[in-house]
Structure 1
Amino acid sequence: MARSTQTGTRSSRRSRRTGIAVLAASLLMACMHSPKPAPDVRYLDYLVGPPDRLTITVLPDPPVVENVVVRPDGMITIQLVGDVLAGGKTTDQIAADVQNRISRFKRGALVTVALAGAESSMITVFGEVRNPGAFPLTRQIRISEALGVVGGPTLFANEDGLQVVRPGSPPKVIEVDLDAIVDGDLRTNVQLYGGDIVYVPPTALASVGYFFQQLLFPFTPFFGVAGIASGVGH
């Protein structure tokens, strides 16, 4: 009975990982064959972050144009109003904040904020994925697609404990349940934005394995639980 249960569990895990691969491949293929959006469409909901470059324009006469860089703390400095929080906001939200402050001493002011350089538009995926790293955000992408780009989760991934860390003041942590996404519940299949960090944690068993690997082989890179067993056997 125990052997039958273990076999069923392994089969279920294989089926689930196959489902993840099929889901990621399907979404990527759909994006490849879908019509390309207008160049500025992907910036409608873009969240500004360091070190993005912005162009601030204040009208009417005398017109004021400033080019600013978002600092590591998410702030920008504008001559007319001083420091303004830009990190984690859209360009429209930043423009509204600046206009509200300028209107106190310049009636009828019209403020526009344009994204001059999306320097923060990188997605970082690390943890229990096959090819961890960072890649540029060139279009709208959801977390299932991002996992497909990095090769998908490893055998030791805790698939219901993923986290997306989004820059801002303060940073926002979004919980993602990949198991639920594969089962058709897409509520946590969130859209990613520039600067987002995706962390795929290990299972409890894998964490224990990594601990003993570091304890027994402190100068050996992590190769996973399977690598530990292989090293001990030799």
Structure 2
Amino acid sequence: MRELARSIGAEVASPSRVHDAFTNPRLPSWGLVELLVEVLARRVPGGPSTGEEVQRFHRLWDAAAENTPDAPAMSDKAVDDHNLVQDRTRFLGPDHPDTLDARYDAAHWRGHAGDAAGAAAALNNLVLDRIRVLGPDHTDTLEARYDAAHWRGHAGDAAGAAAALMDVVEDHKRILGPDHPDTLTSQASLSDWFAQAGYAAVAALRAPSKASDPGSV
């Protein structure tokens, strides 16, 4: 996984994100899948063209997007991931990358099982630990910040989600660039939460010098 991440570029897809795309039951973002398909297709001598493989996998991705797990299955997955966090903490230690990844997965499924507030709180704690262990500009840290804002919004705090995402978008642009798939995704999410919350509600949570219309972010 780390070799594949290096082939893509660590600043684009970290080893944990590549591992996540192959091993987790949730559907990864299409931007990451497209990058993986392109790299893997180039490694097969005499195989289908990169463009053909990207189109084929995009059709599979579209089909998968139409089939999401039901609530009981997601609740069971949340319990399984919680147990995995405990096991990895015990055997690998609380700061091991695999332990941090398991915590991310547990929070993800906790949210999909119906506990959006609990997912947001768990991800906020994970953000602090990823900053300490990996650094504030690591892609895994950015990912946790984005998801913490996402679940904060689904827990009923649209203004808080938008305010948090304004900072995430700024850091995505600075670290990954304005055209990176993660930057575009965070911008789209910011626009959605901004529209739900309203400009005045978001501006009230931020210093006047930082409050701005999402179109200028």
Query: Max radius of gyration: which structure?
Result: 1
- Give the TM-score normalised by the residue count of structure 2: 0.22
- Give the TM-score normalised by the residue count of structure 1: 0.21
Higher helix proportion (structure 1 or 2): 2
Q: Which structure is higher in RCO with an 8 Å CA cutoff and minimum separation 6?
A: 1
